[in-house]
Structure 1
Amino acid sequence: MATKKFKCTVCGYIHEGNAAPEKCPVCMAPASAFVELKDEKKKGLFSDKNGNAYIIMYSTVMVVIVAALLAVAALSLQSRQYANELNEKKQSILSSLSAQNENYDTFIDAYVLDADGNKVEGEDVFELLKDLQGAFDNGKYPVFEAKDGRVVIPVTGSGLWGPVWGYVALEKDMDTVAGIIMAHKGETPGLGAEIATPKYQSKFVGKKIFDGDEFVSVKLRKGGAQDPEHEVDAISGGTKTSDGVTAMLYNSLRNYLPLLVAKREPAPADVMETPAGNESNEENVENNE
């Protein structure tokens, strides 16, 4: 039978036998001061729940389990999140046209243009909106055309603290602003963040982006608009954001000049054809001769 080991908790003396000694031969501590030592070979690495190994392993397992649960939750909610984002974009487009009561799918025709104003097939406009500046850099320009002939152009730029973006709706003349929706990542509340308020956005309605045949966009002027057709008052205390919006409108809208110019030009008049049997007087004279 294997001999047991007992350790004196006072002095550390090790006693071998079937039971602890009545007294420790070293420090004279009573038998109650001894504890039995288990065979170290039989103890596992993680048997001590207070040991570092056990704590590290337990923490690692818990992190993996929590990460897995979060990944499953994210995947299960991904489709719903995308649907919400898509619906938000559609509503913003309709809002820029003041057509919130319309059905996007029946009221809007979305397509993509290249740098020459030609339609590009096989592109998802909403995928391009996820990185609009990247789409612009690649020569792809999303357009949203309403059934009544107005168009909505997405715009993107930078404010004071981060990106700003929005949608500019133009009347059928491709010149007059019908409405605008703007949003931002983190502009200062009460200052630059005012670009996202309906009150400020209403200032753009009726402004012109062309001065005759020259594209000029719409400018936010510090100190107050001086050109009533092409300028709006800059945001008080939000100079950097105002400058960012001015640059956003000019740089984004000019990408669509081929489309805007083409739609602004009147369609050529139909060539009058002379019906058969109704020759002109000159032709009749020549025939008689």
Structure 2
Amino acid sequence: MDMTEQIIEAVKKAYETQGREGLDVFNIASAEVEKSLSTMDYVLKRADGALTVVSIVGVNGTGKTTTAAKMAHMIQQQGKISVLAACDTFRAAAIEQLKLWGERLKVPVIAGADKADPAAIAHDAITASLARRADYLIVDTAGRLHTKHNLMQELQKLHRVMGKQLAGAPHEVLLVLDATTGMNALNQAREFHKAVPLTGLVVTKLDGTSKGGMVVAIQKELGLPIKFVGLGEQPDDLQPFDARQYAQALFSEKE
């Protein structure tokens, strides 16, 4: 609603100054969204020390595992060393899925057995990443409903263990949102942000939806930058967020 009112106000001002002639509401709306989204820092953080830990969180089915793998691949493409930690020990085949991605992308994966303690795996992964002199450790956490208090507490424990093992870890906590979810994504963001302070968002499945506008509301309310967008299934389909492209895409279909 806030963003809608901002756009309406901008259209009114444009009408008052230039009249109806040549007034393009879609262009004004796109410019307002771009202006709102451009205020944030979208770059993936780099810790002062030798290793940056990125925790990937979210509800079930948003694409966390593939996002973690694609992010590790992107980091490798930049000439840096990345390691993956398979801390989703609850979903059947999640560890296997990440290992397959690791083999495909030539990224090392630190994993334990099914049902193992995720915090213990994260602890081992930090130790292994430091030994390998890795630049980034990407931690794939289990999907959990934002309404399940006990699962959110478990995520807090995972982050506490990482923080004890390495000061400041996790340095980035990225919430993966499915763009097709619509405004329920705002509730997810609110609850995760309360439990484990988020540093940014990753929006997946943007290639198949027109509902991506929900991230504007999230950014407006919680002040969280969108760090990356997922546009497909291939390793290179995770892309850094571009506010201008995003805003233009939102209003590209003038129906």
The alignment's TM-score, normalised by the length of structure 2, stands at: 0.24
Q: Which has the higher helix share?
A: 2
Higher RCO (C-alpha 8 Å, min separation 6): 2
The alignment's TM-score, normalised by the length of structure 1, stands at: 0.22
- Structure with max Cα Rg: 1
Q: Which has the higher strand share?
A: 1
